[in-house]
C-alpha cells in the first residue's frame, strides 16, 4: 500500500481538536498506524493463520472497523483454499470506506469482500466463523462495548473465533507509566517528534478510552466465549483470540 507520510500533528496547534477518521487521516492512515501501533503488521498478518484454522467451506467472516481493509485482506489469504467463503468489512467513515473499496478491488482473489459503510452497532452478525475487531472497540463508548461483544458472541458458530486487538491501560500506576513511556519511545524512534506525540495524545484523550486486559477478559466471559487467550502483547497494545 503506497501512502503519504503522516505529519498531521507536526505543526503547533493552539487548540487540538478531537481525533476523527476524516480525509486527512485516511490519506496517511497506513503510515500512521504502522508507526503508532507496536506489532500492528504482525497482528494483521496473523489474521490469515486464524482464518485458515477456524473457517470451513462457506464461512462468513467479519472485519469490524476495517479502515483500509488490511485485516480483511489478510483474512482473505487464509480463506483462499476453501470454497464459497465471504468477508463482510464494515466502517462508518465515508473516507475510509471509499478508499478501502478501491484497495480491495486492486487485490485479486476468489474470496469476496463486501465493504459496507455502517456503524458496527447496526451491523447484523449472522453465522460468524471469524470476526476481527482490530483497534476499534476502543473508539466505541464504554456502554456500547458489552453489547457489541455480546452480539458477536451470540451469532458466532461453536468453535468460531473473535480476534480482538486493542490499546489497553493498566490498573497499576507504575506499570501504566512504564508502558506508555515505552510506547512513546517507540513512536519517537519511528520519527514522530515530541510535539506530534503530545498533540496526538491530546486529540485521542476523549476519543480512545482504553480498558484493562482484565476488563476485556470479563466482558468476553460474560458474552459467552469459552476460551480467551492473550496471543500478542507489546507495551500497551494487545490482541486476544476468543473461541466460542
Ligand atoms: C484504528 S482503526 C482500525 C484499524 C483496522 N482494523 C486495521 O486493522 O487496519 C479504527 C476504525 O474504526 C472505525 N470506527 C470507529 N467507530 C466505529 C463505529 N462505531 N462503526 C464503524 N466503524 C467505526 C474508524 O472509522 C476507523 O477506520
Ligand atoms: O497513536 C496512538 O497513540 C494510538 O493510540 C494509535 C492509534 C490506535 O491505536 O488506533 C490511534 C489512532 C489511529 O487510528 C492509529 C493508531
> For atom 2 of ligand 2, which residue has the closest CA?
36
Pocket test for ligand 1, best of 34, 36, 65, 140 (most atoms within 8 A of CB): 65
Which homologous superfamily does the CATH classification assign to the domain defined by 1-244? Vaccinia Virus protein VP39 (3.40.50.150)
Residues in contact with ligand 2 (CB, 6 Å cut-off)? 32-33, 36-37, 135, 167, 200, 204, 208
Chain centroid to Cα 75, Å, comes to 13
Residue boundaries of the structural domains of the chain? 1-244
Compute the residue count for the chain: 244
The interface predicted TM-score (ipTM) is 0.97
Give pLDDT tens digits for 37-69. 999 999 999 999 999 999 999 999 999 999 999
> For atom 10 of ligand 1, which residue has the closest CA?
136
State how beta strands 60-64 and 86-91 pair: parallel
Give pLDDT tens digits for 66-107. 999 999 999 999 999 999 999 999 999 999 999 999 999 999
Ligand 1 pocket, residue 87 CB under 6 Å:
no
Query: If 0-12 CB within 10 Å is exposed, 13-18 middle and 19+ buried, where does residue 17 land?
Result: exposed
- Measure the N-to-C terminal CA separation of the chain; round to a whole number of Å: 34
The response to whether 39 counts as a known ligand-binding position is no
Give the single-character DSSP code of 80.
Answer: T
The response to whether 155 counts as a known ligand-binding position is no
How does DSSP assign 197-209, residue by residue?
A: HHHHHHHHTTT--
Pocket test for ligand 2, best of 37, 43, 234 (most atoms within 8 A of CB): 37
Give pLDDT tens digits for 191-237. 999 999 999 999 999 999 999 999 999 999 999 999 999 999 999 99
Query: Measured at the alpha carbon of residue 139, what is the angle toward residues 136 and 144, in degrees to the nearest 5?
Result: 95
Amino acid at each position: 500500500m503506497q501512502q503519504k507520510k503522516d505529519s498531521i500533528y507536526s505543526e503547533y496547534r493552539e487548540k487540538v481538536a478531537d481525533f476523527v477518521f476524516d480525509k486527512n487521516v485516511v490519506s496517511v492512515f497506513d503510515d500512521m498506524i504502522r508507526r503508532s501501533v507496536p506489532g500492528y503488521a504482525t497482528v494483521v498478518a496473523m489474521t490469515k493463520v486464524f482464518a485458515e484454522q477456524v473457517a470451513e467451506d462457506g464461512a462468513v467472516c467479519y472485519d469490524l472497523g476495517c479502515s483500509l481493509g488490511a485485516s480483511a485482506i489478510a483474512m482473505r489469504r487464509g480463506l483462499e483454499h476453501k470454497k464459497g467463503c465471504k468477508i463482510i468489512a464494515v466502517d462508518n467513515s465515508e473516507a475510509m470506506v471509499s478508499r478501502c473499496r478501491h484497495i480491495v478491488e486492486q487485490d485479486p482473489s476468489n474470496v469476496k469482500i463486501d465493504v459496507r459503510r455502517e456503524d458496527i452497532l447496526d451491523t447484523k452478525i449472522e453465522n460468524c466463523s471469524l470476526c476481527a475487531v482490530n483497534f476499534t472497540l476502543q473508539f466505541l463508548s464504554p456502554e456500547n462495548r458489552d453489547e457489541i461483544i455480546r452480539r458477536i458472541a451470540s451469532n458466532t458458530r461453536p468453535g468460531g473465533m473473535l480476534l480482538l486487538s486493542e490499546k489497553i491501560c493498566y490498573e497499576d500506576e507504575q506499570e501504566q507509566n512504564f508502558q506508555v513511556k515505552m510506547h512513546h519511545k517507540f513512536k519517537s524512534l519511528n520519527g514522530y517528534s515530541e510535539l506530534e506525540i503530545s498533540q496526538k495524545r491530546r486529540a485521542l484523550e476523549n476519543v480512545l478510552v482504553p480498558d484493562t486486559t482484565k476488563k476485556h477478559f470479563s466482558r468476553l466471559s460474560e458474552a459467552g466465549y469459552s476460551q480467551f487467550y492473550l496471543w500478542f502483547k507489546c507495551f500497551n497494545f494487545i490482541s486476544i483470540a476468543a473461541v466460542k
